[in-house]
Structure 1
Amino acid sequence: MGQRQGKPYRVALLGLYHESNTFIARKTTFEDFQNSHLLRGEEIIAEYRDAYHEIGGMLAVMDREGVEVLPLLFAEATPGGTVTATAYQRLLDEMTTLLAGTLPIDGCLVVPHGAGVSEEQRDMDGHWLGKVRELVGPDVPIVGTIDPHANVSRAMVEATDALIAYRTNPHVDQRDTGRIAGELMIKCLNGTIKPNQCLAKPPVTISIEQQYTAAYPCTLLYEEAAVLMQWPGVLSVSVVLGFPYADVPEMGTSFLVVTDDDRQAGVAVAQRLEALLITHRYAFVGKLETVDAQLAEMYRLEKPILWLDMGDNVGGGSLGDSVVLLKALERDGRLRGFTCIFDPVAVTVLRKYERGAQVKILFGNDYSLGLSHNPYAAKVCILDKVDGKFRETTPRHGGQVQYDMGETVLVETAAGNVVMIHSLRVPPFSLSQLTSFGLDPAGFDVLIAKGVNAPIAAYGTVCHTIMQANTPGVTQADMTTMEFRVRPKPLFPFEDIST
């Protein structure tokens, strides 16, 4: 049992979670955290105890072992631009104040993302984890989870005893990863292990569309990691694919190995994976297909088709307002599609009309024209007006249970395409986003989802064909066309590393 001298261990639980796209002009504010998940104390337990989220896995282990969990703060915002200095400082001040008020503690469970960037602290996760370490001291174990889209820094590793990345993308193993972190924490508390972390950062970054872990080439890395996990003394092997939309010195793929006080084994495992990635680096570049080529191919493919809008990937920070793929379906006119569009201004206009009304409306943005804002003009029929709240009860990317896309209006265009226009940004991680409001996903030829791999966990259950579209936007798949200033060099595929 989790006890010391007859008393339960006291373990703090806290997290600050954001995937920051530094190429987006709009900053992520404190309000964005409020509109997503800003939870304190028992709110964290209520939200995640039964969820498919890492916190749920951590809690399950702590409950089983009789550990006293001290839930402090969990702040998460939908991926977006750099976090403002004001928002980060406000969250950091609250987190550290709450943590200081719980001391002394026996351990600390942490939930960073690993790709957080704020205006003044570019390594946001390394910074707040370092502050946690300063408060609890060098002897209190700090164990946590990270997203495989992290850009892991030395500061993150030095501040913690063990960080474990999810093994799947889409991320459907978050609860299990939290359980692994919880088990390591218990072993730390009982003194049965002494974690040692080893970080390797090869000069390679993986193209976003090649980060589907269930398929080649990612399977090369994960299968080797599974073999290396069997080495004596190895506690965890994390393949950290990296987040290519953050211009930071830590950008790129990493391998993070946790051993039981065996630095030599950790280095050897990390170097094996590093060499494997470098050898097969060209397989991770990928081949991009145009929208028109994919549209021409759709007629012979089994329906429904999941059409992934990579340039407007909400899970990578995009707004979710692109009409590029919708316009392609509209021009063609032979396939019936569905898409979500984030446009709070259009919602404000549409909510004035009754169901069944025929309305001329401007909505979304046509990124193919390269303009700052060029909405799509269409005559639509209003199908429904809903509050935008829905729940997900099965393991899906992100592990969240409750979603809120704000006031939402469902419309149908003259070409027969259905558009869900919503007022709060929500990534397409759940089919409940459709079914909760009376839409049958199987009733469409094409389901447009604004993502790259993450929506597959949800939409893949009904879609017989999956296509990744090379669309324009701030999450465009070809990262080599983006202007980086501080990324590491040399870094493949930007530079040749053969020498």
Structure 2
Amino acid sequence: MGQQGQGPRVALLGFSIECNRFAPPAGRDDFACRCWLEGEAILADARSPTPRALGEMPGFVADMDAAGPWRPLPVLLAMAEPNGPVEQPLFATMMATWRRGLEALRGEVDGAYCVLHGAGLTTELDDPEGALQALVREVLGPGVPLVCSYDLHANVSDAMVRHCDAFVGYRTNPHLDMRERGAESARLLRRLMSGTRTHLAFRRLPIVAPTVSLLTARGPYAEVIDLGQELKAQDPRILNVSVMGGFAYGDTPFNGLAVIVTATERDAAEALADTLADAAWERRHRFVAHLTPLEEAVRRAKESPVPLVFADVADNPGGGGRGNTMFLLEAFHTAGVRDCLVGVIHDPLLAGEAHRLGHGARFIARFNRPQGTLTAEDPFSRPFAAEAEVAALSDGQVTGRRGIYAGTAMRLGPTAALRIGGITVVVISNRTQCADPAFFEHLGLDIGAARAVVVKSRGHFRGGFDEFFGHDQVVEVDCPGLTSPILSRFAWTRLPRPVLPLDPETRWDGGRGEAAPVGSAA
């Protein structure tokens, strides 16, 4: 493998963004404010107690460090909050950076690890992850083992499976296992560098599931994932089982729930992939959205005998939503809901105004002023104004406490808590979803004392707020927005049709979508 006494030489790179076809494009600033790391900065961040990157790279590096000497060869790790498609010139710049870095390492690499999301887009490409993996193969050659880890919302293309030797997907939603999947990737890569050869079996089904139906604590998706792990444990030939729920709003030709099995023998991989694909198809009619109408949510906020958390699932920044629609806030305010927290609203102009006015100031808070965040690409972010008092201010430098952001350095930008009647609204400058209690708590707000909490999040808030709200205290509200789980509201242009649940007549013949990786055992 590597030079004697120095351990294996491993290239490190990554591209992670979940792209909503219907949201405005993502630019360099979207990556810069979240995570753009080159060279040794990748390692420094991964080994930090509060990294900017999500958990895969820190988990991989920690496991490699613990296993013995190795030579990390970091190139570029680019991560951004979910957004619209990445501007193609920016992605071309990334590709050039990865190419230069990999070409400088040609012939000096024993293995490579890519942190990927799987639901990326650019303004020109449907499959940027596949393009990056093809680049790795082109430069390093088919003999260098490549392990890739993915979010479980990946829309899996043939290229994404064909160009890697091990495919590692998250198994939890909310995502609580990112570090574990990074560590698993490290273990798999060490096996591959020691001579293990793999076969990948791949099945894609005509099921484009609403995101709210893809939880892993319960429900049809959880059952298929659990079955996969149960069967994997019974067969040492199976190295990894990944069941990808997909991301509907990517609107790609390869959308669809997918099963990928990595194994040391073809027959084992193919048989298990068939079993799990059949199990998913048997549950196909359960992948549906059940939402609460806005009027009913207002009533429950006022009358519930127990505290409730209201998820604004249609305006989830974790799926490309702008994080600033006013439907829930305006309805709760008009109805006189009290003892309520709302967060987090993305409105840099309003947050900046609150900072200029100072703590205790009273003013008319104008959300979504036309010269600010209201754009033609986002018809849902309409203005709303109300009398407000500045209750608290912060610089938005927060370390996540629980769930997906636990231990992660988050940059919310200038942040303000505004008291509007009986509601306190947290306004931030850098868009992100409200998945961590720290986003409220760092402003001195007491979640436990609130009777109602509104979160701009689809599901990750469950991993952060479950110490306050049980499953039966969660209300998923049906409002307009870029991430509405009611898929019939979108004008699909690339989605393969027919698919469930959009097309009730959809049939599936159990066909095989096999794509064996370059260099794998035949």
TM-score normalised by L of structure 1:
0.94
**Separation (CA, whole Å) in 1 of partners of 2:312 and 2:149:** 28
Is the alpha carbon distance of 1:373 and 1:452 closer, same or farther for their aligned partners in structure 2, counting shifts above 3 Å?
closer
SS of aligned partner of 1:176? helix
**Separation (CA, whole Å) in 1 of partners of 2:25 and 2:147:** 29
Whether 2:492 is the aligned partner of 1:484: answer yes
Which deviations, in whole Å up to 9, do the C-alpha atoms of 1:320-361 show, x marking residues without a partner?
Answer: 001211122212214321122111122233332122111012
Aligned Cα root-mean-square deviation (Å): 2.0
Aligned to 1:57: 59
- The within-5 A match list for 1:7-406 is 7-24=6-23, 26-49=24-47, 50=49, 53-65=55-67, 66-103=69-106, 104-191=108-195, 193-229=196-232, 230-260=234-264, 262-299=265-302, 301=304, 303-339=306-342, 340-364=344-368, 371=379, 373-394=381-402, 396-397=403-404, 401-406=408-413
Paired AA for residue 343 in structure 1: D
Structure 2: segments with no counterpart, 5+ residues:
509-522
Paired AA for residue 19 in structure 2: S
Q: Among the aligned pairs, what percent are the same residue?
A: 28
Structure 1: segments with no counterpart, 5+ residues:
none
**Separation (CA, whole Å) in 1 of partners of 2:119 and 2:317:** 15
Paired AA for residue 85 in structure 1: Q
Paired AA for residue 206 in structure 2: P
Whether 2:429 is the aligned partner of 1:427: answer no
Is the alpha carbon distance of 1:45 and 1:161 closer, same or farther for their aligned partners in structure 2, counting shifts above 3 Å?
same
| Maintained 8 Å contact 1:53/1:399 | no
Paired AA for residue 34 in structure 2: S
Alpha-carbon distance, 1:384 to partner: 2.3
Aligned to 2:416: 409
Is the alpha carbon distance of 1:255 and 1:398 closer, same or farther for their aligned partners in structure 2, counting shifts above 3 Å?
farther
| Maintained 8 Å contact 1:306/1:460 | no
SS of aligned partner of 2:20? coil
| Maintained 8 Å contact 1:44/1:71 | yes
SS of aligned partner of 1:143? strand
481-490 or 38-47: bigger deviation: 38-47
Alpha-carbon distance, 1:303 to partner: 3.9
Paired AA for residue 20 in structure 2: N
Q: How many residues align?
A: 491
Is the alpha carbon distance of 1:335 and 1:384 closer, same or farther for their aligned partners in structure 2, counting shifts above 3 Å?
closer
| Maintained 8 Å contact 1:62/1:69 | no
Is the alpha carbon distance of 1:72 and 1:371 closer, same or farther for their aligned partners in structure 2, counting shifts above 3 Å?
closer
Is the alpha carbon distance of 1:315 and 1:373 closer, same or farther for their aligned partners in structure 2, counting shifts above 3 Å?
closer
Is the alpha carbon distance of 1:302 and 1:456 closer, same or farther for their aligned partners in structure 2, counting shifts above 3 Å?
farther
**Separation (CA, whole Å) in 2 of partners of 1:98 and 1:44:** 13
Alpha-carbon distance, 1:202 to partner: 1.0
**Separation (CA, whole Å) in 1 of partners of 2:243 and 2:80:** 24
Alpha-carbon distance, 1:371 to partner: 4.9
Paired AA for residue 41 in structure 1: G
Paired AA for residue 142 in structure 1: L
Aligned to 2:511: none
Alpha-carbon distance, 1:269 to partner: 1.0
SS of aligned partner of 1:412? strand
**Separation (CA, whole Å) in 1 of partners of 2:131 and 2:165:** 15
TM-score normalised by L of structure 2:
0.90
Is the alpha carbon distance of 1:40 and 1:462 closer, same or farther for their aligned partners in structure 2, counting shifts above 3 Å?
same
Is the alpha carbon distance of 1:401 and 1:302 closer, same or farther for their aligned partners in structure 2, counting shifts above 3 Å?
farther
1:474 pairs, out of 470, 482, 485, with 482
| Maintained 8 Å contact 2:396/2:413 | yes
